Amino acid sequence: MDIRPPRRKGVQSRGGEETVADIHASRALLPEGWARDVTVTLGEDGRIAGVRSGDRAPAGADILLPAPANLHSHAFQRAMAGRTEARSGARDSFWTWRALMYRFLDRLTPEQVEAIAAQVQVEMLEAGYAAVGEFHYLHHQPDGTPYDDLAEMSGRIAAAARTTGIGLTLLPVLYVQGGIDGRALEGGQRRFGNDLDRFARLCEGARAALCRLPGDAVPGIAPHSLRAVPPPVLADAVAAHGEGPIHIHVAEQTAEVDEIEAAWGARPVEWLLTTQPVDALWCLIHATHMTPPEVEEMAATGATAGLCPVTEANLGDGIFDGARFLEAGGRFGVGSDSNVAIGLAAELRQLEYSQRLRDRSRAVLADADRSTGRVLYEGACGGGARALGRDAGAIREGAWADLVALDGDALALAGLDGDALLDGWIFAGDDRVVADVWSAGRHVVGAGRHHARDAVERRFRDAMRQLAE
């Protein structure tokens, strides 16, 4: 395949990755719509310094798009891919999968976690994501003893991002109890646990680790779930956090919904919206099982729905009420969650197809002015950026230069233009259509391949061999 690299002018170097002053594209998706002969000028600070159309300079990128963020990842679970697909009992479920995951945690070392995270980030960047929100709860040693550096594992995630150049929003997870009944953590859960004071110190260490990354890195927090964080602790953690993203798992499984409703007299989303100051800083991960009023009330808060369609299908979670949520003005983004498979087009395709299967309809999420692919893509760009506290998601002056160039010669895009280019990529293609990716101006993927793939992949293979022994 002939993948033409972008025409480069004024090549500079920052942090080991190549940056360019100008990117010329024959077609680009701008906030106002599709434009031809576009030049995007990158500033030395990693932001977009200018955008102009009608530039007749030779095109270097066939199709230039804003690059979305992957808003929800548990990087270490990438090492479990292919290990949990055999039936473990009469009926497998999310809960039996979770038990397998806890047993897997007994083996992971900090070095292995860094190697796995770097591989995950390379695969995300090659798929077209420019940034990731790492929902990071693997904090301690297997018996629950903290490392000498309380934020050792957070530092490993940041070190992986330093290697790969991905934009990182690091979300240390607060995990206090083993269930809604307040039972103690046991087994693999012991690696997650902190009280509020120790969690505050861990977050300080995580922020220190982010200071070693470029200026687009963002700190946030993630109370794990309503079952893992008691209400008073949740309220105190949110109040102490101040500004920045807040992510939480909610209403992923019907058993979780039933348990919380029985204990507190309200469904999880209903309870959260009633008792917490949920607003645009929040990202509610999954929010799969909601009543129509909950869907509309969540949309009204400005919170982002963090959808992980491939993982939600893999774990048998259920189907998010996407059509109703968008009709109510809701924002969404997508993430790869368990990283059983990492693919931007695959997540967006699965999201739409789940709606079609439920409603027995087609083009469910399209609107009067935009195709299904464009609604999905622009939604993921805008919602992902908001959820990660990242000034990105559109090709506009002043935003971080999170960009993805597609190969216009790809068969999936043959003869297509405008919105149909996105439809072709999402519904007829895959992530091999991705040619180049920039994260805050760092040119980390060229000709479809990450610049550090070989070294990262070797370390990942070594880690996987160790885990298999």
Could you tell me how many helices (H) and strands (E) the chain has, helices first? 14, 19
Residue 115 C-alpha from the chain's centroid: 18
DSSP result, 105-116: TTT--HHHHHHH
55 is catalytic: no
Give the whole-angstrom CA distance, residue 253 versus residue 257: 7
DSSP 8-state symbol, 16: T
Q: Which of 74, 286, 450, 451 is catalytic?
A: 286
Q: Which two tokens stand for residue 409?
A: 């010669």
Whether residue 86 contacts residue 422, with contact meaning beta carbons closer than 8 Å, is answered with no
Q: Which two tokens stand for residue 468?
A: 């298999």
Q: Is 54 helix (H, G, I), strand (E, B) or coil?
A: coil
Q: Is 67 helix (H, G, I), strand (E, B) or coil?
A: coil
Residue 449 main-chain phi, psi, to 5 deg: -130, 135
Whether residue 328 contacts residue 292, with contact meaning beta carbons closer than 8 Å, is answered with no
Q: Which of 337, 419, 431, 436 is catalytic?
A: 337
Residue 459 main-chain phi, psi, to 5 deg: -65, -35
Give the whole-angstrom CA distance, residue 450 versus residue 456: 10
Tokens 């369609």, residue located: 309
Give the whole-angstrom CA distance, residue 333 versus residue 247: 12
74 is catalytic: no
Q: Which residues are designated catalytic?
A: 286, 337
